[in-house]
Structure 1
Amino acid sequence: MEKKQQTPVKKPLTSADVARKAGVSRATVSYVLNNVQNNHVSEETRAKVLRVAQELGYQLHSSAQALRKGYSNEICIMHDLQTSVNDAEIQFYMQQNIQRMGYVPVHYYMGGLSEERRKELLLQICARRPAALFVMPGCITEDGIEQARRMGIQHIVLLTAEEIGKDTFRLPTVSLPTREMGYLAGRHLLELGHRRLAIVKPFQERHIPAFEHRLEGMKRAIAESGKEGISLEVFSLHMEMQEAHDLIDKRFQQEDRPTGIYTFNDEYALPLLAALLDRGFRIPQDVALVGTDDVFFSRFVRPALTTIRFNNAAIGEHATEIAAKLIQGEPIPETLTQPLTVELIRRSST
């Protein structure tokens, strides 16, 4: 009976294999792959080690790295479950920048979980010893922040609408300028001659603080205009066609209907735009519409949607630069924590 030849088991790659092929010491390989700055390692040598490691398919074991450095090569981003198109774009830019830093981006969705399950998941996240943690006000509590710190997660960055949660969590913060957005939308509609304004309120609880900021911004634009007889209504709306049609049928058949509307984001503008057109209203001659976020489809709908644009690439860059400064133990420049600017993009809907 013939004996089958056994395939020899390949030994796992080690840093010694990388060092041998690159012609450097194991210490040099460790410096380079752990992203440790060392004046004795030139950029040429660093590039060579990285190239050889890639050719061999060698990667550091994350658990060993975490034990050695005190943290792993992961940077975690905690989200709410309900992610908008704009949120997804910001997350994309953050992920790109995290990868450029040499870390692995890991996303966790906390929305819809019970309080007990959130606590369990946070413990599991912290046990992985991420190098940094990005959080949003609705995803974590003060106790959660303290728990993370007790478990050794010292580099935590807050992403929020202006100062929401900043005083509560006392964390380095990337602020989105939500009041300015409402102000720009209100001023634009007033400059076009509209005197009966409305703002669409989102149904998601997590969006209410940012909505209140935008409402404040519109009120400031009205106050600064110095014009009398200007009204501002608030419409609550789900992103459903039936509800949009009901709103148009009940409120917009009246002579004192609003003629200039600002929606919380571009997604809320779509059903409203469709419902207005379905009922025979002309956009912008009868009703002007302004959205928020400048998501990709806002320029493709007809009429194309006037909107307020975030610089999402800058948001992602600022967030990851703050994390990098924290990891390196360097002070955070004030420019990175100031609210970013927004821009009105005028299209056919106004």
Structure 2
Amino acid sequence: MPTDTPTRRVTTYDIAKSLGISRATVGFVLNNTAGQTISEATRTKVLQEAKRLGYRRHSAARTLASGRSNIVLLVLPDWPLDFSLRRNIEEASLTLDQAGYTLVTYTPHPSGQARPLWEAIQPDIVLALTSFTAEQTQAITAAGIKQLKPDANDVGAEAYTDNGPVLQLEHLAELGHTVIAYAGLNDPKVADLVESRLHRAQSAADALGVRLVHGPSIDLTEETSIAALNEWRDDGVTAVAAYNDDVAASVTGTALRAGILVPEELSIIGIDNTPLSSMFQPRLSTIDVDTAGLGRYLARLALSAIQGTPTPEAGPEMRATLVQRASTAPPQRH
């Protein structure tokens, strides 16, 4: 039986042969080589013929010629790919694409059996949402990658987004709540982030003179939510600062089904300002973090490092803001 013959890649030789000119001339045009006396008519013919034949520059050859791959590698922590993280990646990818760069994401796993992607694709820069470990920094630089962000003088993006717990505690304390529970998420993948936010919440509580109850973490089931609520109610808790909007929604739904009024008997606030928070009933108070803006800033940070331009100034996207809705109110006085 006849078999399909794979289509051969179009080369500069094919373009030169089709036009009856030298391969060097074609190369000068396609590489936009400076200092060559090539007429505009010839340049136009080469570009048109390259397009007609379907010529695509070989990425490896382009990297060797320019010293750049036009690839940005984003190393992701092993977190769930939730709404906020997806929006961050999408905006970073779009901003880089508009500048002619491709964003590639890579998540190292604890098993560490796969070859690190920075060794395989030779990106122009390696980015991360959290600070690199010393081992990662050593491995990346050993692979010949010269640009890392954040580097030793920077901080990871988590430092910008983790002001949320402080705003949560300030809001609840301002409403008059003096015994507040922190509802973490029971997920090993984000254990470090939960611990970081809890630490910030505790520091804020100490500064505000309110008591923070470290309740059991929630794994988004009815059982864990009701167990936590029972403990908190016995401890005099009148408000809950949740790790994120998903946890806030789980606690709110469970409280309402248990006959606990929200916010009359229990105020609840989340973090992330996801679509869920505005669609839930009651609508959830939350902390808005401009993850789309953070994605754009991350892309600009990468471009400035690659191109040797000044580091971009951090703008409003770095500031978390309170979004007060129906799930928080002053505590009832008995």
TM-score bracket for this pair, using the shorter chain length: 0.7 to 0.9
SS at match of 1:313: helix
- Secondary structure in 2 aligned to 1:121? coil
Letter in 2 for 1:236: P
Note if contact 1:269-1:291 (Cα within 8 Å) is conserved in structure 2.
yes
Which AA in structure 1 matches 2:226? H
Matched, 1:266 2:249: no
Deviation at residue 189 of structure 1 after TM alignment: 0.9
Distance in 2 separating the partners of 1:268 and 1:121: 35
Give the counterpart letter for 1:63 in structure 2: A
> Structure 1 residues 285, 55: CA separation in 2 closer, same or farther (over 3 Å shift)?
farther
Aligned to 1:163: none
1:191 aligns with 2:183: no
How much has 1:275 moved relative to structure 2?
A: 1.0
- The residue that corresponds to 2:321 in the other structure is 343
**1:76 partner letter:** L
Does the aligned pair in 2 maintain the 1:265–1:293 contact within 8 Å?
A: yes
Q: Is the 8 A contact 2:290 2:317 kept in 1?
A: no
Measured in 1, the distance between the counterparts of 2:48 and 2:215 equals 57
CA contact (8 A) 1:157 1:174 kept: no
Query: 1:25: how far off?
Result: 5.8
Equivalent positions of 1:273-292 (< 5 A) are 273-292=252-271
Residues 85 and 295, structure 1, Cα contact 8 Å, conserved in 2: yes
Deviation per residue, 1:190-230 (Å, 9 max, x gap)? 222212111112334554554455445444554555xx6x3
Q: What corresponds to 2:332 in structure 1?
A: none
Is 1:29 aligned to residue 21 of structure 2? no
Give the distance between the partners of 1:215 and 1:6, measured in 2 at CA. Answer: 63
Q: Check if 1:244 corresponds to 2:225.
A: yes
Task: Please give the root-mean-square deviation of Cα atoms over the aligned residues, in Å.
Answer: 3.9
Q: Structure 2 CA distance, aligned partners of 1:348 and 1:53?
A: 61
Query: In the alignment, which residue of structure 1 is the partner of 2:61?
Result: 64
Find out whether 1:91 has 2:83 as its counterpart: no
Give the superposition deviation at 1:339.
Answer: 8.5
Q: Residues of 2 paired with 1:208 and 1:175: CA distance?
A: 14
1:51-200 matches, within 5 Å, as: 57-83=54-80, 84-111=82-109, 113-115=110-112, 117=113, 120-122=114-116, 124-137=117-130, 141-158=133-150, 169-170=152-153, 173-174=156-157, 176-200=159-183
Residues paired across the two proteins, number: 316
Gaps (5+ residues) in structure 2?
20-24, 38-42, 329-334
Aligned-partner SS, 1:236: coil
When you count strand as a share of all residues, which structure comes out higher? 1
CA distance in 1, matches of 2:163, 2:3: 70
Q: State the Cα distance separating 1:129 from its structure 2 match.
A: 0.8
Q: Distance in 2 between matches of 1:301 and 1:6?
A: 58
Give, in whole Å, the separation in 2 of the partners of 1:73 and 1:221. 43
What is the identity, as a one-letter code, of the residue corresponding to 1:93? Answer: E
**How far apart are the structure 2 equivalents of 1:308 and 1:137?**
20
Is 1:261–1:289's contact at 8 Å kept on the other side of the alignment?
yes
> Which residue in the other structure is 1:161 paired with?
none
Which residue identity is paired with 2:31? S
Residues 106-130 of structure 1 show CA distances to partners (whole Å, capped at 9, x for unaligned) of 222223x413x1xx421x4323211
Question: Runs of 5+ in structure 1 lacking a partner?
Answer: 41-45, 159-165
Structure 2 Cα separation of the partners of residues 328 and 121 of structure 1: 28
Cα distance in 1 between the residues matched to 2:119 and 2:129: 16
CA-CA distance at 1:11 after TM superposition? 5.3
Residue 266 (structure 1) shift: 1.0
SS of alignment partner, residue 239 of structure 1? coil
TM-score by length of 2: 0.78
Q: CA 1:121 to 1:295, structure 2 compared with 1: closer, same or farther past 3 Å?
A: farther
After superposition, the Cα gap between the structure-2 partners of 1:51 and 1:75, relative to the gap in structure 1 and judged at 3 Å, is: farther
- Residue 14 of structure 1 and its aligned partner are, at CA, apart by 3.5
